[in-house]
Structures are given as C-alpha cells and as structure tokens.
Amino acid sequence: THCIIVVLLTFQTNILTELKNWKLDLIQHHKLQMRQEKEKHATHVKQLQNEMENLKELLHTYEISVSRKDEVIITNLNQALEKQKERVELMRKFTLWRIQHVKAKQEEYAIRMADKHFQRALMKKVWAAWRSVSEVRWKDKVARACQLRAEDVCVQLTNDYEAKIAEV
C-alpha cells in the first residue's frame, strides 16, 4: 500500500506539477498575448498619430494654399476694381470733354446765328435806307420830269394858243 501511496503521491505531485506548468504556460501565453496586443495597440496608436501629423501638415498646406488663393483673388479683385475706377474716370473725363465740346459748338452756332441775324437786320436797314433814298430820288426825277413835261406842254399850249390867236 505504501507503494500505491507513493505512486499516488508521485502521480498527484506530477499532476500538480503539470497543472502548475500549465498554469505558468497559460500565464506566460497570456502575458505574451497581452504584450503582442500592447505592441499592436502601440503600433496602431503610432500609425494614427503619424496619420494625424500628416493630416495636420496637409491641413496646414491647404490653409496656406487657400490663403494664397485668397490673396491672389483679393489682388485680382483690387486690380479689376482699379481698372474699373480708371475706366469710370476716363469716361467721366470724356463725358466732360464731350459736354464742353458740345457747349462750344452750341455757343459757336449761337454766335453764327446772332451774327447772321445782325447782318440781316443791318441789310434790311440798309435796304430800307437805300430804297428810301432811291424813292426820294425817283420821286424827284419823276416830279422834275413831270414838271418839265408840264412846262413843255404849257409852252406848247401857249405857242399853239398864240398861233391860233395870231391866225384869228
């Protein structure tokens, strides 16, 4: 029986040793899995951090690009605005010049019309004066001619009358 007890104790010791070994192996295996998971997790976290850094750099690059584009757009808008201001100023100057030009032509036309009116009025006065003088001369000539003719007729009648008186 002693042998059986020793065998049983040995068997029990072997089983306990085997169980302890399994337990240690299981703990070891669990620690290995935990370490591997931690490494995977650390690697994954590192990848995510790298990706975040890359995205931050990309965001910064985009911000710079957008800022430059905004500057270009603002510069282009300012240039377009300046050109438009210049065009408006040129149009304003041209319009003022055109208005002055039209006013000058209107004034020139008004002066010509006033001059023509003055010349016509003067010619009418001269014509009226010449006609008046001509009529006076014509009346004088006609009156003299009539007077001379009347004198001739009177002389003729006197002569005829004297001749008839002399005949009778």
* 71-83 pLDDT per residue, tens: 999 999 999 999 9
The pLDDT of residue 124 is 96
CA distances from 99 to 3, 52, 87, 95 (A): 138, 68, 18, 6
The pLDDT of residue 10 is 79
Going by pLDDT thresholds of 50, 70 and 90, the confidence category of residue 48 is very high
The pLDDT of residue 66 is 96
The pLDDT of residue 1 is 65
Q: How far apart are CA 47 and CA 56, in angstroms?
A: 14
Look up the pTM and report it. Answer: 0.44
CA distances from 70 to 34, 58, 59, 84, 96 (A): 52, 18, 16, 20, 38
The length of the chain is 168
Structure tokens at 127: 């014509």
The pLDDT of residue 20 is 92
CA distances from 86 to 73, 90, 94 (A): 20, 6, 12
Comparison of pLDDT for 124 and 2, the residue scoring more? 124
